[in-house]
């Protein structure tokens, strides 16, 4: 296993979910999980055996302590997580069923993370010893300070020769809340990235333009060509392709495209009896990063990423606490046999 260190920067959240398939507050109880896009990736990478550190700001109260402790339990270094006055970011989840889709309600305005001053982060110190920095588009969508902090992290990483992994994660409602210039800020972040987790819709937001190609893979090909032309540092673009047949039945495939002409496609997997899709994209991202860090070939990397994402759909909560052997087993024959 590689000794590569990955630093993840983003908000740690508490997820409060209606039990089972109930509506929110249909009964007076909630299931609680820790989460956050970047933390989800970090937890997966830690379970894959990598050296992962989290940079964040949490509320200086028992909620912040609980979330930080949960990351430590999964093997993530939380020494760079700072406690501050303020509140924890929350989100509420109603899990869908039948013809009723899942629904997320955010309650993260003015959280300790969102309110932290951009100049309070010493990025050269926080990134010391790292070879990768993982960011997502959720953080800059939270407000001006968070956007400036995310940009400063990406620029510091570039200056230090650290590879930046960036998940587009475009959240229009969060951007609209504070009137942020999503196109300009996301473009600057894409410009720092070694790999982006994005599809043609993300590229359309950042670079403009339409992709009229007949099918989704062709649109992704065209978007990747545009992205490689616009961003000289960018080496890879990857994404999943999801077809939603019903709340509990999805088809999920994936593509990995490289500046060098790499084009790897993982055939679609049928996901039935889905337990929890939240964090599936983060599990996919961690799987792809694992492949790149370990020097796996492109076909194995994208298949590993897709298998990791598929497994997450069977596990409650935001995290994907499975190891390399679990993912490899899903990629192999007899994947549904009882393992004894």
Residues in the chain: 340
Query: What are the tens digits of pLDDT across the range 247-298?
Result: 999 999 999 999 999 999 999 999 999 999 999 999 999 999 999 999 999 9
pLDDT for 337 beyond 80: no
Between the alpha carbon of residue 209 and those of residues 185, 201, 212, 219, the distances in Å are 18, 10, 10, 12
Instruction: Tell me the C-alpha distance between 14 and 88, whole Å.
Output: 7
Contact 287/238 with Cβ under 8 angstroms?
no
- Which residues are CB-contacts of 301 (< 8 A; sequence separation ≥ 6)? 256, 264, 287, 288, 290, 291, 292
Contact 310/271 with Cβ under 8 angstroms?
yes
Mean pLDDT, rounded, for 327-340: 69
pLDDT given at position 163: 98
Question: How is the chain split into domains, by residue range?
Answer: 8-328
Contact 36/10 with Cβ under 8 angstroms?
yes
Contact 318/279 with Cβ under 8 angstroms?
yes
pLDDT given at position 99: 86
Between 25 and 333, residue with greater pLDDT: 25
Query: What are the tens digits of pLDDT across the range 183-230?
Result: 999 999 999 999 999 999 999 999 998 899 989 999 999 999 999 999
Instruction: Tell me the C-alpha distance between 203 and 106, whole Å.
Output: 25
Helices within the chain (DSSP H only): 37-47, 62-73, 112-115, 123-126, 144-160, 172-178, 182-192, 200-207, 216-230, 280-294, 298-312, 324-331
Contact 192/157 with Cβ under 8 angstroms?
yes
Average pLDDT of every residue of the chain: 94
Instruction: Tell me the C-alpha distance between 149 and 116, whole Å.
Output: 9
CATH class of 8-328: alpha beta
Dihedral sign computed on CA atoms, order 18, 137, 117, 57: positive
Start-to-end CA span in the chain (Å): 25
Kindly report the backbone phi and psi dihedral angles of residue 113, in degrees, each rounded to the nearest multiple of 5, phi listed first: -70, -50
pLDDT given at position 277: 93
Contact 305/57 with Cβ under 8 angstroms?
no
Element (H, E) at 308: helix 298-312
Closest residue by Cα to residue 235 from 261, 264, 202? 261
Residues facing residue 9 across a β-bridge: 55
pLDDT given at position 209: 83
Instruction: Tell me the C-alpha distance between 285 and 151, whole Å.
Output: 20
pLDDT given at position 173: 86
């Amino acid at each position: 296993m590689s000794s590569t260190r990955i630093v993840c920067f983003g908000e740690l959240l508490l997820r409060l979910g209606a039990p089972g398939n109930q509506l929110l507050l249909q009964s007076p109880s909630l299931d609680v999980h820790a989460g956050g896009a970047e933390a989800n990736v970090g937890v997966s990478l830690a379970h894959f055996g990598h050296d992962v550190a989290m940079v964040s700001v949490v509320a200086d109260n028992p909620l912040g302590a609980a979330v930080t402790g949960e990351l430590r339990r999964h093997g993530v270094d939380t020494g760079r997580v700072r406690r501050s006055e303020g509140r924890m970011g929350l989100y509420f989840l109603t899990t869908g069923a039948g013809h009723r889709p899942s629904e997320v309600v955010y309650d993260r305005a003015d959280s300790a993370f969102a309110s932290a001053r951009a100049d309070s982060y010493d990025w050269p110190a926080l990134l010391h010893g790292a070879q990768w920095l993982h960011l997502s588009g959720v953080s800059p969508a939270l407000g001006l300070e968070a956007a400036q902090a995310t940009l400063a992290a990406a620029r510091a990483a570039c200056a230090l020769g650290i590879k930046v992994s960036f998940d587009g994660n475009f959240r229009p409602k969060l951007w609209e809340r504070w009137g942020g210039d999503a196109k300009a800020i996301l473009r600057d972040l894409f410009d720092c990235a070694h790999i982006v987790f994005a599809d043609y819709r993300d590229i359309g937001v950042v670079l403009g333009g339409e992709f009229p190609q007949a099918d989704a893979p062709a649109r992704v090909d065209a978007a990747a060509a545009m992205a490689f032309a616009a961003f000289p540092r960018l080496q890879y673009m990857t994404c999943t392709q999801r077809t939603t047949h019903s709340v509990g039945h999805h088809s999920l495939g994936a593509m990995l495209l490289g500046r060098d002409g790499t084009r790897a496609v993982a055939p679609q997997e049928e996901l039935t009896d889905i337990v929890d899709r939240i964090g599936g994209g983060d599990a996919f991202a961690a799987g792809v990063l694992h492949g790149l860090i370990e020097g796996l070939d492109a076909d194995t990397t994208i298949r590993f990423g897709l298998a990791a994402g598929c497994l997450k759909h069977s596990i409650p909560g935001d995290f994907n606490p499975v190891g390399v052997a679990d993912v490899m087993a899903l990629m192999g024959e007899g994947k549904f046999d009882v393992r004894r």
